[in-house]
Structure 1
Amino acid sequence: MTETITGDRRFPPALAEVATAEFPYEDGDGFDFEPYDTFDSAEETTEWIRQWTGNHELDGAAYRVFGQDGTGGLAALWCVRPGLPLTEQPVVFLGSEGEVGVVAPNLSDFLWVLADGYGPMEAAIYPDREVRPRPELAELAARHATTPRRPARTITAEAKAEFPAFEEDLSALCR
């Protein structure tokens, strides 16, 4: 079993600023993303992962849920890199209908994904959709990012290559 960061629930400043940004849906041409201003509690996350997988032996320690889409799919930091801070953990999407995907290898790259006009669901499930740059989110990313700007498609492809078994491993937890 992978060691996780169990105690850190401090909301990173970059996510706090993301929570204040606007994510217009624009009849499906914009974002389907509703960021939170805090992480879900450990108890809420445990309840969610148990319901999502049907596996009541799991706890939610590996995830820090920070937003959702309109269907209830969740965006989370996946605490899979032992010893690294939350900002260095990958961003993942877990859809309400079982869709899953790695969105970005870290929070900094996730900010650049948002700047290209992709929400977590779009990046994980529809990475080839048309790029719709958001200058206001690019400015937010420039203030907080520690990685250079790259196209969202490149970031998502790199994340999926780094964690190729994410979907399969998560599927194995389902009962």
Structure 2
Amino acid sequence: MTDHSQAIATFDAAIAQAKGVEQAFAALQALTEATVGTKLFTYMSVDMQAELARRAYTSDPTNYPASGTKPIRYDSWFDVVHKEHRYFVANTIADIAKVFPDYELIDSLGCQSVVNMPVVIGGVLIGTVNMLDVDGYYTPERVQIIHDVLAVPAKLAALVAAR
């Protein structure tokens, strides 16, 4: 098993000083890059009462700005992430195209694989951490690192961002 203690210590120091969405998720993005890697990193907040999702943080503000809202779509992705609180993993652009209408933009950015990690607090999905990279990147081993190393820091980042 890889030792991620330095990356976690760096995250701990950053999140301890973080104020607001940008700093909280920048700290989580840095931890993600140091442990599992990602070409594109975003955080979507979820408001199920209003049935809206909003990109609250992005590593690519040009192509994926943190602004506006989009309606929640009830599909197979929704069932996996929202209902079952499981990770959604797709390792080809063909699989991404089945659930994301912006798959052509995703592909144009050199991203053909994705992990959407649900952020659940108090039994309620409050958002998703979205990591995208090249074709086939999110192997079972990398998904396990995401689960083991990033799940709790993602919850902490979401709570700090909401303050």
* TM-score where L is the length of structure 2: 0.29
Tell me: higher relative CO, structure 1 or 2? Use CA pairs within 8 A at least 6 residues apart: 2
* TM-score where L is the length of structure 1: 0.28
Q: Hey, which of these two has a bigger chunk of helix by percent?
A: 2
Q: Hey, which of these two has a bigger chunk of strand by percent?
A: 2
